[in-house]
Structure 1
Amino acid sequence: MSTVSLSSAVMTHPVREVQAAALAARLGLGGLALDPEPEGPPSALRTALVAWAARTPEAGHHLVVQDDVAAPPELLELVAGSVARFPDEALIFYTNWHARNGAAARLAALAGAGWVRAVPEEFAPTLAICLPVPAADAFRTFAAGSGERHDDEVMAAFLRAGGRSGLLAVPNVVEHIGTSSINGHAAQGVRLAVCPVGAAEARPLLERGWVLEELDWLPYMRYGEGYLRPAGCERDADPRRHLRWPEALPNTGLTESQVWEVLRRHRPEDAAAEVGRLFGDGFADELWIHCLLLGRQAEEAAWRYAARRAPEGPMAGPAARVRAAALSTVGPAGLPPERRPEVGPERATLLAAYAESAVCCGGLLLGPVAQVRGGAA
């Protein structure tokens, strides 16, 4: 593995300076990048530009971490190893559990991947992101004078302009903490990592896990309902348009009757009744169907990438733990923000088992050729 020269900075606001300093000291990160206009209108981009300018002269890569995260002591080691493997990529180490990119990472976890290409039309998560220094400098030039205050939106636009979205680490060792937001995201409620695991579970997947590059169509949830992102929608006039799953399903080759038939035959009745009692029958249906479609896409991706999976070596244990982490977050993330705090440990266990029952049925929606290839993989 080549030697990596990595610098880092923690972007923060004076109201969180003590918190940010403690984070930097705990993880061995570089200095703080303070908002240069703390009394001005909220702007994460304003602070991000300071953070990206804080790279050291000898650095080949620069890591920017936001102040409201938790991470293991091994963070810099894991980032350096990932940079050595993917020296030309924008590497993203945290992904929101409720976004399209969160759904992409969850699907990749279910398929057994270590990395997944971000969807290009959505914001690029920037709570912990590493860029090659030339890209970091180019981003500052690209963003200079922008009227946008969200650095994650500008980062996504920058990466789109370069023709390649960032790589999302499927195992998330960085976790968001708290629900407050200087930049106006508090209304989104609890916002956590999609596949939270420790450094030991993450390391083998980050170092050797295969990369899911092509997502095809992608199931995701928002505010208690299931949606589908069509393949290639980044080329549409309105690429962020939300399409409910029944509306988008015909373009996948599946029918509603197929989906409902699998649900009718295979959904566990007791679990469905309990989820419906707690969160509504509509949510119980939407969550199970969403996870069924996720399972279908995960199985399809696994056999499509079978050749890439072979060289990575034994990884069953870490992959299983990341899969379990992905299943643990799909239920709470799919709820409306105001209802997420209702999910304590017992309900989280119920939702995870309910989600797994659907994911395990995903193969029933594969065509006969895919089923044969999946079994051979």
Structure 2
Amino acid sequence: MTEPGNAQTKAGKAESAPQVHLSAAVMAHPSRARAARRLRAELAELAPAVVFDPDPQGPPSALRTARRAWNTVAPGATHHLVLQDDAVPSAGFAAQAAAAAQARPDDGLAFFTEWGSRTAHMVRIAALTGASWARAVDEYVPAPALLLPAHLARGFDDYAELKADPATPDDVVLDDYLRELGVRTYVSVPNLADHLETPSLTGNDHMGARRCVCLPAEGDSPVDWTGPTVEALPMVPQFSWWEGLSCIRVRDGDSDRDRDRDRYRKEWTAPILAARGLTAAELDAACRAAVPAAVREIVSEMLIAQWWLTACALGVVVADLGLPAERIPDAARQPVAARALATMFPGGVRRFLPVRQFERAGELMVEPLVAALCLGARYGGGSP
């Protein structure tokens, strides 16, 4: 494990922060009024305002509704939460969100990230290494369940009016806004909300199912929101659910100022693993030995091989963070980590695999994933 202040840091101490007061809004399309009312009832203690699309017959856009939702901060609120109408909060969400804001009062806090995103792999790295937070590293802010300090929430509408193209997705505009202000966004580990599988109103059905990485479960230890954080890393492995290919996102910039931007360039995984000493022959042999025939019957060999590269690269990264190969099996059995790992395979191949096979495929690929992590970790532990 790395020391605080390096790749993992401790969140601000809750006792040093003033008491938080949350306000909330649900942003919704009129066609989803029932879902919005469900959310309002489930989060009655927050009394969220329901904000409908002001132009529901206009071109599909979440931004125009988001602008209104972020501008509904209640008087006296220190933080404002906006949930989209297809968010599904976990039990005890409001209390957990308030505790999280108490621990990190100045940051953007996302309580959902979809299971195939770049940030999803940051959440898995955090779960394996015992962290409570993972830095959001996609080029958008995970927005289905997002909390901002009140003054930032109030400023978003003006920013979007002045600087945003109305056709730009709200999560991209939020990312631009927060980056311009130097505000970082972190994702909770575990996630505290899931995503309801309903037809997309903004043309995202081609993305396939967008579920969360992992949720809390009965029997989990209480989350310490002041716990460690996985900050932006030198490299983030990613299995592209769109292309079906493995890549690694490498941080750009040589100066401290450039690194603070946390922009990433795309490189292919195999050459980076080869530079660490992990050869194609060893990768292929290990993959053939680990992946069961039941998976090979429903997923192409090409997809399996590319996903395997990503899993091995994750092992390299967690070893670089101080988790050696011999400790990975125990770490992977911890409840939050186990659930986060189980979503990695279906989250990556969701466009290529029928929904009815997600759960079984995820279960079948957990042991191969742990084997891949251990293999990659044997080539990690040094400087990337």
Does the alignment reach a TM-score above 0.5?
yes
Q: Classify the secondary structure of the residue corresponding to 1:298.
A: helix
Choose the corresponding residue for 2:106, options 77, 88, 93.
Answer: 88
Residue 162 of structure 1: how far off its partner (Å): 1.7
**C-alpha distance in structure 2 between counterparts of 1:202 and 1:41, whole Å:** 45
| Of 190, 197, 216, the match for 1:178 | 197
Q: Among 284, 288, 293, which residue is 2:304 paired with? A: 284
Q: Distance in 1 between matches of 2:58 and 2:264?
A: 30
Q: What whole-Å deviation, never above 9, does each CA across 1:181-238 have from its counterpart, x for those lacking one?
A: 1122111011111223337637424x2431111311110011322111012379699x
1:57 is displaced (CA, Å) by 0.8
Tell me what 1:142 maps to.
159
Shift of 1:85: 0.6
1:360 counterpart residue number = 374
Residue 137 of structure 1 and its aligned partner are, at CA, apart by 1.6
CA shift in 2, pair 1:194/1:344, >3 Å: closer
SS state at 1:287 partner: helix
Note if contact 2:128-2:332 (Cα within 8 Å) is conserved in structure 1. Answer: no
**Distance of aligned partners of 1:263 and 1:282 in 2 relative to their CA distance in 1, 3 Å threshold:** same
SS in 1 for 2:220: helix
Give the conservation status (yes or no) of the 8 Å contact 1:332–1:348: yes
Deviation at 1:5, TM superposition (A): 0.8
Distance 1:268 1:338 in 2: 20
Provide the C-alpha distance between the structure 2 equivalents of 1:319 and 1:114, rounded to a whole number of angstroms. 17
Cα distance between partner residues in 2 of 1:51 and 1:322: 31
Unaligned 5+ segments in structure 1 are 305-315, 371-377
Greater helix content: 1
1:181 and 1:202 map into 2 onto residues whose CA distance is 35
Whole-Å Cα distance in 1 between the matches of residues 331 and 235 of structure 2? 28
Equivalent position SS for 2:353: helix
Q: How far apart are the structure 1 equivalents of 2:206 and 2:293?
A: 30
What is the match of residue 68 of structure 1? Answer: 86
Deviations 1:352-372 (A, max 9, x none): 2221221122321125x68xx
Pairwise CA distance, 1:249: 5.2
Q: Which residue is equivalent to 2:4?
A: none
Q: Which amino acid aligns with 2:276?
A: L
- Distance 1:15-1:54 versus aligned 2 partners, 3 A rule: same
Match for 1:335 among 349, 352, 374?
A: 349
Relative to structure 1, the CA distance from residue 336 to residue 25 in structure 2 (aligned partners, 3 Å threshold; closer, same or farther) is closer
Aligned length: 352
Take 1:233 and 1:325, find their aligned partners in 2: how far apart are those partners? 34
Change (3 A) 1:41 1:162: same
The question of whether the paired residues in 2 share the 8 Å contact of 1:27 and 1:73 is answered with no
- Determine if the alignment matches structure 1 residue 3 to structure 2 residue 19: yes
Distance 1:317 1:289, change over 3 A: closer
Counterpart of 1:297?
317
- Select the residue among 231, 243, 250 that pairs with 1:230: 250
Superposed displacement of residue 303, structure 1: 5.5
The aligned runs of 1:251-266 (5 Å cut-off) are 253-255=275-277, 258-264=278-284, 266=286
> Separation in 2 of the partners of 1:319 and 1:212?
19
- CA distance in 2 between counterparts of 1:20 and 1:26 reads 10
CA distance, structure 1, for counterparts of residue 211 and residue 253 of structure 2: 26
Could you tell me which amino acid in structure 2 is paired with residue 364 of structure 1? R
Q: TM-score, normalised by structure 2?
A: 0.83
Aligned to 1:193: 212
Structure-2 residue corresponding to 1:167: 186
Q: 1:247 to 1:259 in 2, by over 3 A?
A: closer
1:54 to 43, 65, 72: 72
Q: Which residue of the partner structure matches residue 97 of structure 1? A: 115
Q: CA deviation digits over 1:111-156, x for unaligned, max 9? A: 221101121x511110001011111122222111522341100011
Aligned to 2:9: none
- Normalising by the residue count of structure 1, what TM-score does the alignment of the two structures yield? 0.85
Partner of 1:158: 177
SS at match of 1:288: helix
Match of 1:375 in 2: none
- Asked if the contact 1:225–1:334 (Cα under 8 Å) also holds between the matched residues in 2, the reply is no
Q: Against the structure 1 CA distance between its residues 365 and 249, is the aligned structure 2 distance closer, same or farther, given a 3 Å change threshold?
A: closer
Structure-2 change in CA distance of 1:21 and 1:336 (3 Å)? closer
Taking the aligned partners of 2:192 and 2:357, their CA distance within structure 1 comes to 22
Q: Is the 8 A contact 2:128 2:331 kept in 1?
A: no
State the Cα distance separating 1:319 from its structure 2 match. 8.4
Shift of residue 270, structure 1, vs aligned partner: 5.8
- Report the residue type matching 2:144 in the other structure: L
Q: Structure 1 residue 116 and structure 2 residue 134: aligned? A: yes
What is the match of residue 132 of structure 1? Answer: 149
One-letter amino acid matched to 2:217: G
Change (3 A) 1:360 1:275: same
Deviations 1:261-291 (A, max 9, x none): 5435644626354433321111221122211
| 1:127 counterpart letter in structure 2 | P
Distance apart, 1:177 and its partner CA: 0.8
Q: CA RMSD in A?
A: 2.8
Please tell me whether residue 21 in structure 1 is matched to residue 21 in structure 2: no
Name stretches of at least 5 consecutive residues in structure 2 with no aligned partner: 1-14, 325-329
| Partner SS state of residue 65, structure 2 | helix
